[in-house]
Structure formats: structure tokens, C-alpha cells
Amino acid sequence: MIKDTNWRPLPAFLTIASSKIEGLGIFAVKDIPQDTDLGITHVFDTRFPDNYIRLPLGAFINHHEIPNCKAVFADKDAEVGELKHIRMITSKPIAKGEEITVKYVINKLENPNWELEYEATQ
């Protein structure tokens, strides 16, 4: 029997869908106000590349040079307690259907000019 829990891999107001940026991305299923905490994207662990393991939210966030979210490094979580991690906070209002993006702070892009092609398709 599966026990009901409050944990979800993504907040109910986000979903994974096909992205014009790269593969799959995270999208808003409702309007999201500025300064909304979307949750934890990465947890510090030296056994992983870049010393962080990606959680579901972090696994599908795509890079953009003009992002609508910011990555915030933290050492504590209100529910979990002491935990070195990265959180995602909206830096502007996000409309229903809009892709959630961040300017990567861990991974480096192989092709920093990819956005020229992306912007032309919008």
C-alpha cells in the first residue's frame, strides 16, 4: 500500500513540457508572482559533479541569459533544517505557460551563442 505524503517532485503550479530552448523544461501552469520561492533545485554533496546533486526541479530548468528566476545559495531550509542547497526564486512575474529559466551558476555552456538561434524562433 502506498502511503499518502505531502512531498511532490515539483510544486503543483509547475509542470515538465517540451522546450524550445533544449529538450524538456519547467513551465508555469498558472500565473506566478515575483519573489515566489519555487523550491530546492540542488543539494550539496561532494560525491557528484560540481559538488551538487540535482533534484527534479533542477533537472529540467533551462538556461537563459535574461532569466525569469534566480538561483539562491543557502545553508538552511525552513522545513529540513541545516542543508547546503540551491533554491529557485522568481525574479519577475511569470505568466501561465511561460518556461521557467535561470542563468546557470554551476554548469558552463559549451555554446554561449545558442540564444541567438532561440530568440529568432520566438
CATH code, 24 = 2.170.270.10
Alpha-carbon span 59 to 74, nearest angstrom: 18
The total domain count for the chain is 1
pLDDT in tens, the chain (122 residues): 456 566 677 888 999 999 998 889 999 999 999 999 999 888 888 888 778 888 888 889 888 889 999 988 888 877 777 888 888 999 999 999 999 999 875 555 455 444 444 343 33
Q: Which three cell numbers stand for residue 91?
A: 525574479
Whole-prediction pTM: 0.75
What is the SS3 assignment for 87?
strand
Alpha-carbon span 60 to 31, nearest angstrom: 19
Alpha-carbon span 99 to 27, nearest angstrom: 4
Specify the pLDDT at position 106. 53
Residue 32 forms part of a structural domain: yes
Residue 53 forms part of a structural domain: yes
Residue 36's domain comprises: 14-106
Instruction: Check: CB of residue 100 under 8 Å from CB of residue 61.
Output: yes
